[in-house]
Structure 1
Amino acid sequence: MNTEHIDIDLARYSDWAFTTSVVVLVGALLLLAVELAYSRGRKVESRELVGVGADSMTPGVVIDDPTRTADERIGRVGLALVYVGIAMLFACIVLRGLATTRVPWGNMYEFINLTSFCGLIAAAVVLRKPQFRALWVFVLVPELILLSVSGKWLYTNAAPVMPALQSYWLPIHVSVVSIGSGVFLVAGVASILFLLKMSPLAVQDNGFGRMIQRLPDAQTLDRIAYRTTIFAFPIFGFGVIFGAIWAEEAWGRYWGWDPKETVSFVAWVVYAAYLHARSTAGWRDKKAAWINVVGFVAMVFNLFFINLVTVGLHSYAGVG
């Protein structure tokens, strides 16, 4: 592998920043989970849907104790660590780019890191209000799984970009797809939590039921899922289009039903179906949320299985 134009020191610092980011985010997850599991002084009033098959729900009312408790202080520290972890992941990406003097998303390791970063930034914007802090627990779990897979199985030493990727479309296509995928992650988590909030599990008098009760009301979760999907849908769609244009330049055809192309298109169609269902009477709420979860599963399948197992025209960007 040619490392003539690679700054080894900066590449090493990038690796350290990545490891630090993962460790810090794990610590943040543990602290936020403690707050969610042991929070006190909260009253949750659960109200059921009005009538069978109703299209709207009355949200639960969450009243916070004005006295700051120990678990809340722990949660605040956890949130601070989230921001530190995001900053370290950003440093990892920037240092990798400086070390290689190219855009730092030229292989699957770098792509997953960028996608994870975009998801964390999206969550930081959407969950900026204090009452949404508990949702970070459920966002960090898939984020850390992504980063763990990236560091364990997809890691690639800093190197010049592969010849097949030497195109001005690389920074455009990959960055746009990463933004869309990262925001879709937040939407998927919100829909899963919405379904849990609407399920019988949310009213059970046990540890899991009480944890679900401490989350924001179902209507808020549904709104988060819908708005983030609206934002990500056109972005991801443009990413697929840019990829098709690049494919025509590189391979002489716009579409070849490569595994990654196919699953990306299927995921985009599923999200289109979700947005349509979300605005259709009789399909909104639970049915629409399930469609969004299917889109989320397709996206995760595309990130993990397609990149790790299948062989296709995108394999040159795969495991180092």
Structure 2
Amino acid sequence: MNWLDVSSSSFIVAFFLYVIASIFYMVAIAGKKWGKGDPKAHEVRWSKIAFVTSTLGLAAHLVFFFTRWIGSGQIPTSNMYEFITLLGMTIMIAYTIIHFIYKKPLLGMFALPLTIIIIAYASVFPQEVQPLIPALQSHWLKIHVTMAALGEAFFAVGFAAGLMYLLRTIDYTDKSKSGKRAQRWLEFTLISIFVVIGFIVASFGFKGAGYVAEFQQETASVSQAGELSTSYEVVKYTMPPIFKPYNSETLQVTPFLGMTDGLFETPSWFNGVNSGRKLNTVIWSIIVGLLLYGIVRMIARKPLGAKINPMLEGIDPDDLDEISYRAIVIGFPIFTLGGLIFAMIWAEIAWGRFWGWDPKEVWALITWLFYSAYLHFRLSRGWHGKPSAWLAVIGFVIVLFTLVGVNLLIAGMHSYAGVD
């Protein structure tokens, strides 16, 4: 039996089951207003169907994880594809646990789409099994990565509940200065989610179309002895070059909307590995994300927050506040162990030091400090409701930057993670 083929098929099954479950949750919550009969009975019936479907999706996701482990002979956490799929799986585990505690089906309408976006994002990266480099060949890696991912998954559930709280409580009819400010920030949060979706859509779209562009970049460097040397590197793009690499010449470009040589050159101060390609990817993500948001906004004919708010009527905001807090309370000690303590033990084994101010280490510490502050303000200062919800949302943005931004934008000892 080819375990890797079984793994790939299971991943596809899990993805589509998550999509179907998400639709069922939307039918359970939004459809009760238009369905016949008792709205409560409608919600209960469709919520059960949705939860069973999402559980089957999680089962398929677990099959993917363990069959890939068996087929590759190593725990599937060695590159960005494997880690992000692990994060998606742990989000579903965290959601399932929270669901059994609170029995709130509305949470599934937000947690499932978040999982779908996460694992769709994973599919952007190379999916081939990559041999573990020596630094990764340790049992502490398995403990560190899996526990860190599980802690971050509970933070993700806290984010989903916090975002739901804001969508439920921010009044779009409030014309005061503070009310309009809250509306703008909430809409900005929703736009940011569309930008992430825009990155996925642009990546799949241009890859599916077979788009390719190649540039030869000249880089000058000075050795410790003061000698000047020049190197040449071929930089490959999978999206049309709005920004081509600094100090480069075109080797080949697939024409797209008149772009044959790049509209702009990446600034010289924009340093880092493949910095031009990454800047280009960010610009395309923003363009496609704003375009998608604009389309949905025109269909809704009002701000999205104002469109979603009526769907959440009847939901107790205090329940959402409690769920967000409890999810973060569960995730914090798990992340403390996985993201810091076990990470430092592994760093000592792999690199001979517990702490080295590597960018990923620094941002993991920032994440821990932020959630420490969240718990402090919640418990000592009584920050409940909107302040707590905003902190839950901001915290997960920091988590995403730690997971994605550091690997893609900042060179460090964690940059081995299979970034294409």
Gaps of at least 5 residues in structure 1 are 1-6, 43-63
Shift of 1:101: 2.1
Give, in whole Å, the separation in 1 of the partners of 2:346 and 2:71.
26
The share of aligned pairs that are identical, in percent, is: 34
**Offset, 1:136:** 0.6
Q: Which residue of 2 aligns with 1:97?
A: 69
Provide the C-alpha distance between the structure 2 equivalents of 1:140 and 1:190, rounded to a whole number of angstroms: 12
Structure 2 CA distance for aligned equivalents of residues 201 and 138 of structure 1: 20
1:110 deviation in Å? 1.7
Letter matched to residue 177 of structure 1: A
The offset of 1:238, in angstroms, is 1.3
Deviation for aligned residue 1:293: 1.8
Residues 1:167 and 2:160 aligned together: no
2:158 pairs with 1:187: yes
Determine which structure has more spread, i.e. the larger CA radius of gyration: 2
After the TM superposition, which residues 104-115 of structure 1 pair with which residues of structure 2 at under 5 Å, given as runs? 104-115=76-87
Aligned counterparts of 2:393 and 2:91: Cα–Cα separation in 1? 16
Distance of aligned partners of 1:130 and 1:273 in 2 relative to their CA distance in 1, 3 Å threshold: closer
Distance in 2 between the 1:261 and 1:231 partners?
A: 22
Provide the residue aligned with 1:238 in structure 2.
337
- 1:37–1:316 distance in 2 versus 1, CA, 3 Å: same
Does the CA-based 8 Å contact 1:195-1:286 persist in structure 2?
yes
Tell me, what secondary structure is at the counterpart of 2:94?
helix
Could you say which structure has the higher strand fraction? Answer: 2
Q: One-letter code of the match for 1:139?
A: A
Q: CA deviation at 1:202?
A: 9.6
Which residue number in structure 1 is paired with residue 26 of structure 2? 33
Q: 1:309 to 1:168 in 2, by over 3 A?
A: same
Per the alignment, in what secondary structure is the counterpart of residue 384 of structure 2? coil
What is the root-mean-square deviation in Å for CA atoms of aligned residues?
2.7
1:86 shift after superposition: 0.6
Q: In 1, Cα distance between the equivalents of 2:358 and 2:20?
A: 39
**Contact 1:39/1:72 (<8 A) preserved:** no
- Provide the C-alpha distance between the structure 1 equivalents of 2:96 and 2:9, rounded to a whole number of angstroms: 23
1:179–1:236 CA contact under 8 A, matched in 2 = yes
Aligned residues: 289
What runs of 5+ residues in structure 2 fail to find an aligned partner? 175-301
When the two structures are superposed, what TM-score results if normalisation uses the length of structure 1?
A: 0.82
1:272 CA drift (Å)? 0.5
Residues 82-129 of structure 1: per-residue CA shift (max 9 Å, x gap)? 111111100000100110222232222222222211111111121237
Partner of 1:263: 363
User: Which of residues 41, 60, 64 in structure 2 aligns to 1:68?
Assistant: 41
Q: CA deviation at 1:183?
A: 1.1
Q: Which residue identity does 2:65 align to in structure 1?
A: I
The 1-side partners of 2:145 and 2:376 are apart by 27
Q: Which amino acid aligns with 2:19?
A: V
User: 1:80 pairs with 45, 52, 59, which one?
Assistant: 52
Q: Deviations over 1:262-320 (max 9, x none)?
A: 22111111100110111134533322322222211101222222233332111112326
Show the counterpart of 1:60: none
With the length of structure 2 as denominator, give the TM-score of the two structures.
0.63
Task: Return closer, same or farther for 1:208/1:202 CA change in 2, 3 Å cut-off.
Answer: farther
Cα distance change on mapping 1:261 and 1:26 into 2, 3 Å: same
Aligned to 1:316: 416
Aligned mates of 2:88, 2:74 — CA distance in 1? 19
Distance, in Å, in 1 between the alignment partners of 2:170 and 2:382 is 18
Given that 1:119 and 1:185 are in contact with CA atoms closer than 8 Å, whether structure 2 keeps it comes out as yes
Letter matched to residue 68 of structure 1: A
